[in-house]
Structure 1
Amino acid sequence: MSKMQSVLGHSEACCNIPPIISKGYKEKGTFETINGLKYYVTGSPDAKKAIIFVYDIFGYFPQTLQGADILASSPEGYQVLIPDFFEGEPANIAWYPPETDDQKAKLGGWFPSHGPPTGVAKIPKVLEDVQETYGKKTFGAVGFCWGGKVVSVTSGEDTPWKAVASTSPSMMDPEDAAKITIPTMCLPSMGEKPEMVDPWKKALKVDNFVERFDDQLHGWMSARADLEDERVKEEYKRGYRLFLEWFAKHL
């Protein structure tokens, strides 16, 4: 397990990270179908705390599954679940970044029927189905890019989450931030400019931690993470360590 110094004041034991696999990662969890929806499920099914992992637009990638397994490895004891919000229809990573007319057309055609509101609408049933299957849970959530918007929007009044975290968040809106009622962590990349992030952070009225990763691409903790690059690998690991510290403190 890799050891890193705590920045949030929590003990090292909570947050040590398994070795990061750069290529050929074999997931530790399983794919399950719960009431007709596919999930990636990792960690103890008997855990009283669960983290709903809201992926990016590219769905299930090895870097994403490894991230879920890292969260599930914590001695704090989390079950981590990645619902297939896109129901087998993720965006093609070859469309991003959308630079050519063809890429723009394909991503633009996909997005209207797969926008964040579709994810937000699925959350209540996801939580109901998870608890019917595995028992009562206290929930946190992590959001990646597209998922960051879903998590932000569902963190207001009557939120089902006790604490949340996001990275490379898409469509940052200070109006969303002002409504958040629970502890919130955000790890923006170089793709989220200060003029997007700063008003969002300023609008927060809750315990929060925001740290920019200015040398990392949008999506460096999920599908777009090039873990064969040592710097990306190091920051991927550090990002997940921060997530674990946050949930050890707040979940």
Structure 2
Amino acid sequence: MASNPPAACCATGFKHEGNPSGEIKTIGNVETYFSYPKDNKTPEKAIIILTDIIGIYTNSQLIADDFAAQGYLAVIPDLFQGDPIKLNDFENGKADLPAWLQNHQTTHVDPVVESTVKHLREELGVKKIGGVGYCFGGKYVCRFLKEGKLDVGYTAHPSFVTHEELGAIKGPLSIAAAEIDQIFTTPLRHESEETLKKTGQPWQINLFSNVAHGFAVRADLSVKQNKFAKEQAFLQAVCWFGQYL
């Protein structure tokens, strides 16, 4: 494995403050959050955000809005089709992560990502697409970083990625990693570096100290180090897409 399967740390974190400015639409029968750049409803470049197991909620929506502010159409498909893990349920012991994961395998998630890419390219006329994956979503950035799918990829603290998926990427990939991470561990990070070298694609891994898995989307922003790392990880993605997308 290039990263381990999701664990309890995948469903812990803090809800961020803010009012999302986008809107929910449907692609087929999948609810999708759309956030548009200012004064441009038909951008030629888009970002698909593939979420952690919490799905579409304030934190992910605010990140989409931030990408839209950079000039991209940003969309978040509901990878779990109405069945995300809720932070409160997990904290209250009501969520069964292993059982939940059985209902959200690649056979369930791949078609959602596929239809989102198709809609952007064929219905909206988007020319280039970047993929952003947080935790669970990082696997699908790697799976879809192929010609005609995602052109450029970025993932923060990815989970459940196999070496085969990582080694098969056909586009540039940037990774934001946490020092404290039982999923994307130090040994797995170093193994991933060796795998990425063999792809022949541009790649980057930035390591952020004193932060844990999930920091780029669910960190406690009242902690100065967390806030800095989250903001820098976002800027890492912006710079990566600026260079390659």
Tell me the TM-score normalized by structure 2.
0.83
Indicate the residue corresponding to 1:208 in structure 2. 203
Indicate the residue corresponding to 1:26 in structure 2. 19
Indicate the residue corresponding to 2:213 in structure 1. 218
Indicate the residue corresponding to 1:4 in structure 2. none
Aligned pair in 2 of structure 1 residues 90, 203: CA closer, same or farther (>3 Å)? same
The 5-angstrom pairing of residues 7-86 of structure 1 reads 23-44=16-37, 45-74=41-70, 77-86=71-80
- Aligned partner of 1:121 among 100, 111, 115: 111
Deviations 1:179-217 (A, max 9, x none): 111100011222121111111121112111101123212
Aligned pair in 2 of structure 1 residues 116, 92: CA closer, same or farther (>3 Å)? farther
Deviations 1:44-79 (A, max 9, x none): 3311001110010011232221111111111xx210
Indicate the residue corresponding to 1:136 in structure 2. 126
CA distance in 1, matches of 2:174, 2:82: 29
Within the alignment, does 1:228 sit opposite 2:185 as a pair? no
Indicate the residue corresponding to 2:4 in structure 1. none
DSSP-derived class of the 1:91 partner: coil
Structure 1 residues not aligned, in runs of 5+: 1-21
Aligned-pair RMSD on alpha carbons? 2.1
Say if 1:165 and 1:243, in contact at 8 Å, map to a contact too.
Answer: yes
Equivalent residue letter for 1:72: A
Say if 2:79 and 2:113, in contact at 8 Å, map to a contact too.
Answer: no
Q: CA deviation at 1:120?
A: 2.1
Indicate the residue corresponding to 1:12 in structure 2. none
Say if 1:52 and 1:139, in contact at 8 Å, map to a contact too.
Answer: yes
- Aligned partner of 2:235 among 235, 241, 245: 241
DSSP-derived class of the 1:148 partner: helix
Say if 1:49 and 1:138, in contact at 8 Å, map to a contact too.
Answer: yes
Moved over 6 A (4+): none
DSSP-derived class of the 1:216 partner: strand
DSSP-derived class of the 1:199 partner: helix
CA distance in 2, matches of 1:109, 1:233: 33
- Aligned partner of 1:146 among 132, 136, 152: 136
Equivalent residue letter for 1:136: V
Q: CA deviation at 1:23?
A: 4.7
CA distance in 2, matches of 1:233, 1:218: 14
Structure 2 residues not aligned, in runs of 5+: 1-14
> % of aligned pairs identical?
24
Equivalent residue letter for 1:154: F
Within the alignment, does 1:193 sit opposite 2:180 as a pair? no
Say if 2:152 and 2:173, in contact at 8 Å, map to a contact too.
Answer: yes
Indicate the residue corresponding to 1:9 in structure 2. none
Within the alignment, does 1:111 sit opposite 2:101 as a pair? yes
Q: CA deviation at 1:145?
A: 0.4
CA distance in 1, matches of 2:129, 2:29: 21
Q: Number of matched residues?
A: 222
Equivalent residue letter for 1:245: C
